[in-house]
Amino acid sequence: MRTVTVVGASLSGLHAARELRAQGFDGRLVIVGEEPHRPYDRPPLSKDFLIGRADEDRLALADADETAGLDAEWLLGVRARGLDPRGRGVLLGDGRTVSTDGVVIATGAAARRLPGPGPAGVHTLRTLDDARALRGELIRGPRRIVVIGGGFIGAETASSCARLGHAVTVVEAAPLPLVPQLGAEMAAVCAGLHRRGGVELITGTGVAALRGAATVTGVELTDGRTLPADVVIVGIGAVPDTAWLAGSTLALQDGVLCDEGCVTALPQVVAVGDVARAGGIRAEHWTSATEQPRAAVTNLLAGRTLATARTVPYFWSDQYDSRIQFAGRYREGDTVHLAEGEITDDGLPGESGFLARYARDGRTVAVLGVDRPRAFMRARRELQRARQPEVRRPEVRRPEVRRPEDRRPEGRRAEDGRSADGPSDDRQPPERQEAAPVGP
């Protein structure tokens, strides 16, 4: 291959570019990004960035030296609009075509929106520009905020808004938020964090309409109530960014269909991260974005599937001064038991947190930790050892380009520790700082 094009200047796209150089590819490397920004860290957008504790320069995923070492051609601020039927050209929104021998699809996912046009004051939170706009609203003084969706993004955003002194209500259509991820028992515990943080949680009802003409003034619920609102934040999930691939020969079904090695029906096209449905599973996790590129690049350069990356999913969330960490996959019917710590009589994590284990057919398949980082990381490593990623890589001469695990951005708190098994945060969380309250 003489040219490889990475479509998506995302976390997974950056890791793919790093892997290409680390695995010996010395040809032309093109990175296409719809946003005008170089790859940045998204998790802090709903937390430290939103409350003003982290500036934009702390979000960068690569410094100037590493960027130069990649020797890549960056085409930023331009959207890919198509892939030619044989996968040998990427069509850009500005009319250009990038001729290429290989393609890495890393376009991620976009925030799901409410149907129809929305008035001013309605926000999603997926990109840096989204976070800038929302932060601008939050510093204008006390606001009545309604968060639609009680998932992780919704909960983190609600937590940040409450910390800034706003009046916050979270609306969740399901009886409990996070049941598909955690199961009902543990979801109830995490839902209690809203109450502890002074946030009202309304469950079991949906949104019928937004009120307001030019600017939002309220949220009408399906049970007939109307919640007054100056700001509405929509956190109802994400959809894989595959619209630009319509008309290509790739199979699309809630993502780009590919095998367990991230290879599509075209061997010169691979997909990684949130947009990839690898081996029948699309996982919007940090592990997918950072671990899939290694196997994907190995297979892209080989022209066939030599390696697979069967990762153990891992995600974390910071809410109301608590850290929630989860590894593995929960299925309905799994049994859960408290392994360490305690849950209080009012259904909240005890002072020292807790560790819960999920079991299926007599073996541990997932672990959940709340404010119990050391115990969680030990349990997570047990899961990883039980299912090590199957990645077999050819021996190649590697240029001096740092691997993804060799550098962690300063703004990352959940992944900046190290262990013999790879990245971890097997340590106590840093001392929390108070955000400045909003004022008139």
pLDDT per residue over 17-66, tens digit each?
999 999 999 999 999 999 999 999 999 999 999 999 999 989 999 999 99
State yes or no: pLDDT of 342 exceeds 50.
yes
For the chain, the three-class secondary structure string (H helix, E strand, C coil) is CCEEEEECCCHHHHHHHHHHHHCCCCCEEEEEECCCCCCECCHHHHCCCCCCCCCHHHCECCCHHHHHHHCCEEEECCCEEEECCCCCEEEECCCCEEECCEEEECCCEEECCCCCCCCECEEECCCHHHHHHHHHHHCCCCCEEEEECCCHHHHHHHHHHHHCCCEEEEEECCCCCCHHHHCHHHHHHHHHHHHHCCCEEEECCCEEEEECCCECCEEEECCCCEEECCEEEECCCEEECCHHHCCCCCCECCCEEECCCCECCCCCEEECHHHEEECCECCCCHHHHHHHHHHHHHHHHHCCCCCCCCCCCEEEEEECCEEEEEEECCCCCCEEEEEEEEECCCCCEEEEEEEEEEEECCEEEEEEEECCHHHHHHHHHHHHHHCCCCCCCCCCCCCCCCCHHHCCCCCCCCCCEEECCEEECCCCCCCCCCCCCCCC
113-234: CATH superfamily: FAD/NAD(P)-binding domain (3.50.50.60)
**Sorting pLDDT into bands at 50, 70 and 90, what band is 388?**
low
Q: How many CA atoms lie within 13 A of 313 on its CB side?
A: 18
**Sorting pLDDT into bands at 50, 70 and 90, what band is 409?**
very low
Neighbours of 377 (CB within 10 A): 22
Structure tokens at 298: 């190995």
CA nearest to 16, candidates 26, 24, 30, 6: 6
**Sorting pLDDT into bands at 50, 70 and 90, what band is 272?**
very high
Handedness of CA 215, 135, 287, 32 (dihedral sign): positive
Percentage above 70 pLDDT, the chain: 88
> 23 or 437: which carries more pLDDT confidence?
23
Mean pLDDT of 420-438: 35
Fold of 3-110+238-302: FAD/NAD(P)-binding domain (3.50.50)
What distance in Å separates the CA atoms of residue 424 and residue 104, rounded to the nearest whole number? 27
State yes or no: pLDDT of 415 exceeds 70.
no
Structure tokens at 307: 């390696």
Domain boundaries, the chain: 3-110+238-302, 113-234
pLDDT per residue over 69-124, tens digit each?
999 999 999 999 999 877 689 999 999 999 999 999 999 999 999 988 889 999 99
Angstrom CA distances, 335 to 81, 91, 132, 186, 369, stand at 46, 49, 42, 11, 16
What distance in Å separates the CA atoms of residue 255 and residue 271, rounded to the nearest whole number? 9
The pLDDT of residue 36 is: 97
State yes or no: pLDDT of 212 exceeds 80.
yes
The pLDDT of residue 392 is: 46
Q: Do the domains at 3-110+238-302 and 113-234 have one common CATH topology?
A: yes
What distance in Å separates the CA atoms of residue 141 and residue 438, rounded to the nearest whole number? 5
Structure tokens at 46: 């709903």
Sequence letter at residue 179: V
The pLDDT of residue 397 is: 41
Enter the pTM of the model.
Answer: 0.85
Mean pLDDT of 309-326: 90
Sequence letter at residue 382: E
Q: How far out from the chain centre does Cα 226 lie?
A: 31
Mean pLDDT of 286-301: 94
State yes or no: pLDDT of 238 exceeds 90.
yes
What distance in Å separates the CA atoms of residue 177 and residue 367, rounded to the nearest whole number? 18
CA nearest to 427, candidates 371, 382, 388: 371
